[in-house]
Amino acid sequence: METKLWQKKATKNPAWLEQFTVGNDRSLDLLLAEHDVKASMAHANMLAHCQLISKQENFLLQTELQVILSQVENESFIIEEQVEDVHSQIELILTKHLGDTGKKIHTARSRNDQVLTAIKLLVKSELKETAKNMLALFDLLQTLSEKHKDVLIPGYTHLQVAMPSSFGLWFGAYAESLSDDLELLIAAYKMADKNPLGSGAGYGSSLHINRTFTTSEIGFSTLNHNVVYAQMSRGKTEKTAALALAGVASTLSKLAMDVCLFMSQNFDFLSFPEELTTGSSIMPHKKNPDVFELIRGKCNKLQALPNELTLLTSNLPSGYHRELQLTKESLFPAFNTLKECLRACQFMLKQVSVRNDILADDKYKYIFSVEKVNQLVKDSVPFREAYRLIGEEIAQGNLQFNGKPEHTHEGSIGNLMTDEIRKEFYIKLPVLGIESPL
């Protein structure tokens, strides 16, 4: 039978119903253990500060909570099979070792604000780790952009050969995309960085607690002021974090798709060592981009996550509802999935090889048509007249272009603005508690 701290008397519910209500909480809650212990430490300090428990009781609670935290850190902490969740497990340990003093840890809090506080701390931590992985990939993309900035490739619109581009532009574009993705990550982090502890079940407490004290103790930048809204932020916090993950996933998915195209024989722009590709059981010539295909697939699934959480929470009124438990099943694994995709992408791109003679192929002979038009424009020919004249040369098969494109404006082939993009990315990092390399 489950050990449930809120239960007033034993029940004889069937095991399958117990499993249905608990779901995957035990395994997922292990991820919350560190954060729940730290929040409990802050809560106990606040209770002592407000003279709701004695200094001696607080000392005993802090000592025992530190033991539990050490067990979490060395991965020896477990949630017993008969215990409902991590919050119950921690309170039961305190009660077992400290008796009535352990029972006082839940003074002036509900499991609602306890769980929400731990979730917000987890979201903050995971978003910070995600940003660190983004930083590593960002730096690599910028390095590759500068290294290959003089290697021209065709640019495409509608998957038709369009205008000259470069590996410098291509790698650099995804670096800047990550910089924009970081904006969403910061927004999600800021929403999670608000203390809900003390909101109780959503309606506060008649005990004279100090929520500003716990905000400082736990390390939140501010608090959710209104206790009803503090509980309303459950689900909203998770959905906003999912939007941030989906933004990064969108960038990685598009990058992975480009790589899959560029690796194919019809493009043949870049390649990877054979051991990083897979072969065919029947075709001996195959070098399949499995890693990037999996990045694309996993990131496409991540882009569905905000919609999943929206549908889960969209018709809920204010107050707590048990469906909110299900957000953990969706969100918690997503953090690890995205971090794995970021690491895999970085690992692969460290070993990429690019071709230097791509535009020598005759199928790209019209790629400089706009360059020819612009040459006439520089000679004072009206653009539409220049466009018509070059169009006639193309129709007659007479178009010739010698030389290189001269693009000098901001963000073009000849002016990648790598430093400016780097500064824009780096300057955001301190918001997440990450030291800027600037």
Please, what is the average pLDDT of the chain?
92
Please provide the distance, in angstroms rounded to a whole number, between the alpha carbons at the two ends of the chain.
Answer: 56
Whether residue 95 is predicted with pLDDT greater than 90 in this model: the reply is yes
Question: Measured in whole angstroms, how far is the alpha carbon of residue 42 from the centre of its chain?
Answer: 27
CA–CA distance, 189 with 298 (Å, rounded to integer): 23
Q: What percent of the chain has pLDDT over 90?
A: 81
Contact (CB, 8 A) for 291 and 352: no
* 248-303 tens-digit pLDDT: 999 999 999 999 999 999 999 999 998 888 876 777 777 889 999 999 999 999 99
Per-residue burial over 410-428, b if 16 or more Cβ lie within 10 Å, else e, is eebbeebebeebbeebbeb
* 415-430 tens-digit pLDDT: 999 999 999 999 999 9
Q: Where are the beta strands (DSSP E) in 213-286?
A: 222-223, 270-271
Same CATH topology for 15-107 and 114-205+225-361+421-432?
no
Residue 270 DSSP SS3? strand
* pLDDT of the residue at 1: 45
Q: State the average pLDDT over residues 99-103.
A: 97
CA–CA distance, 255 with 249 (Å, rounded to integer): 10
CA–CA distance, 194 with 43 (Å, rounded to integer): 15
Which is more confidently placed, 23 or 228?
A: 228
Question: Measured in whole angstroms, how far is the alpha carbon of residue 399 from the centre of its chain?
Answer: 48
From 9, 174, 192, 29, select the one nearest 111 (Cα to Cα): 29
What does the angle CA 418 – CA 424 – CA 426 come to, to the nearest 5 degrees?
95
* 332-375 tens-digit pLDDT: 999 999 999 999 999 999 999 999 999 999 899 899 999 999 99
Which residues fall within 8 angstroms of residue 30, CB to CB, at 6 or more apart?
A: 77, 79, 86
pTM score, two decimals?
0.91
Which is more confidently placed, 323 or 36?
A: 36
* The CATH number of the domain covering residues in 114-205+225-361+421-432: 1.20.200.10
Structure tokens at 429: 């990092």
Can you name the CATH fold of 15-107? Fumarase C; Chain B, domain 1 (1.10.275)
Which residues fall within 8 angstroms of residue 145, CB to CB, at 6 or more apart?
A: 167, 168, 169, 170, 171, 172, 175, 416, 418
Tell me the backbone φ, ψ of residue 248, rounded to 5 degrees.
-65, -40
Which is more confidently placed, 155 or 282?
A: 155
From 162, 154, 156, select the one nearest 369 (Cα to Cα): 162
* pLDDT of the residue at 12: 66
Structure tokens at 188: 């999600």
Residues in the chain: 438
Residue 245 DSSP SS3? helix
* Boundaries of every domain in the chain: 15-107, 114-205+225-361+421-432
Q: H or E element: which one contains 164?
A: strand 160-166
* pLDDT of the residue at 219: 96
* 175-225 tens-digit pLDDT: 999 999 999 999 999 999 999 999 999 999 999 999 999 999 999 999 999
From 86, 58, 83, select the one nearest 72 (Cα to Cα): 86
Residue 152 DSSP SS3? strand
